[in-house]
Amino acid sequence: MVDTLKIANREFKSRLMVGTGKYPSNEIMVKALEESGAEVVTVAIRRVNLDPAKRGDRSKESLLDYIDLKKYTLLPNTAACYTAQDAIRTARLGREALGTELVKLEVIGDEKTLFPDNEALLEAAKVLVKEGFVVMPYTNDDPIMAKKLEDIGCAAVMPLAAPIGSGLGIRNPYNIRIILETVKVPVIVDAGVGTASDAAIAMELGCDGLLMNTGIAGAKDPIKMAMAMRLAVEAGRLAYLSGRIPMKLYATASSPIEGMIK
């Protein structure tokens, strides 16, 4: 059976999307990306460093030198944008720099929690959808917001499981379930996943995909954790498709009762 993730007119075999920030080195990042099986990798858009003093041997290197574009689809983000205007500018710059319509739209509302600013997110999403972007908004786990984002033409919704980089796991599985019942576009849990069981839980709920960065990059061994996350996403997805048994309070014997010796 072919089980693919479809976003706008793109199709992916892997349901795990991985960020490219905060790895101990680019070499470890390359190996972790490979082990994760991810096809979509997120990147940030920032000013080119023009300070000659800071342009040492390695700072002249580009992340592009490490990411095989034949293998990976780049998903530029608008991280660290606190206004709709900054997010829109960053999205446009990302499209121009990387030649992709895809954008992981973030409009951050607060430095401490990095929770989204819903009002500004909606405003930015409207503008970018009109400009032909495939908008994938990072949102809180609010079904009403998810519906609004779908209605204005977003290609997916990306509710957080917990604050970015917190590793707290799926804090509100019931809201995620309601979001899954509310929207038709893919639901991709973004942010908060700490370990493999968190990833499996998200997929068992029926989420279409998962995006993570710190959970892998911040692990003591990011390469092994990337492998763990790949397996967890696959296991969770298979369990979801298999249809789990209902939970019951009391035991149900697995062995037959008939034919017991007397």
Binding site for other proteins (CB under 8 A): 19-23, 29, 42-48, 50, 62-64, 74, 76-77, 79-83, 86, 89-90, 92-98, 111, 164, 191, 211-214, 217
In the complex with other proteins, which residue's Cβ is closer, 57 or 181?
Answer: 57
In the complex, what is the shortest distance from the CB of residue 79 to other proteins, in angstroms, rounded to a whole number? 5
Tokens representing residue 66 in the block: 């490490």
Place of tokens 């590793």: 167
140 Cβ contact list (under 8 Å, min separation 6): 115, 116, 118, 159, 160
Kind of pairing, strands 5-7 and 102-105? unpaired
Selecting among 54, 104, 147, 224, the annotated active-site residue is 104
The 3-state secondary structure of 194-226 reads: CCHHHHHHHHHCCCCEEEECHHHHCCCCHHHHH
In the complex with other proteins, which residue's Cβ is closer, 146 or 217?
Answer: 217
In the complex, what is the shortest distance from the CB of residue 15 to other proteins, in angstroms, rounded to a whole number? 17
Helix (H, G, I), strand (E, B) or coil at 135: strand
In the complex, what is the shortest distance from the CB of residue 169 to other proteins, in angstroms, rounded to a whole number? 17
In the complex with other proteins, which residue's Cβ is closer, 40 or 150?
Answer: 40
Q: Residue 17 corresponds to which amino acid? A: M
In the complex, what is the shortest distance from the CB of residue 144 to other proteins, in angstroms, rounded to a whole number? 25
Catalytic annotation present for 104: yes
Torsion sign across C-alpha atoms 192, 196, 198, 204: positive
Q: How many CB atoms lie within 10 A of CB 196?
A: 19
In the complex with other proteins, which residue's Cβ is closer, 143 or 209?
Answer: 209
Helix (H, G, I), strand (E, B) or coil at 260: coil
Torsion sign across C-alpha atoms 219, 220, 226, 227: negative
Cβ-based burial of 4 (10 A; exposed 0-12, middle 13-18, buried ≥19): exposed
Distances (CA, A) of 204 to 5, 143, 181, 233, 235: 15, 18, 14, 9, 8
In the complex with other proteins, which residue's Cβ is closer, 43 or 149?
Answer: 43
Q: Which residues are catalytic?
A: 104
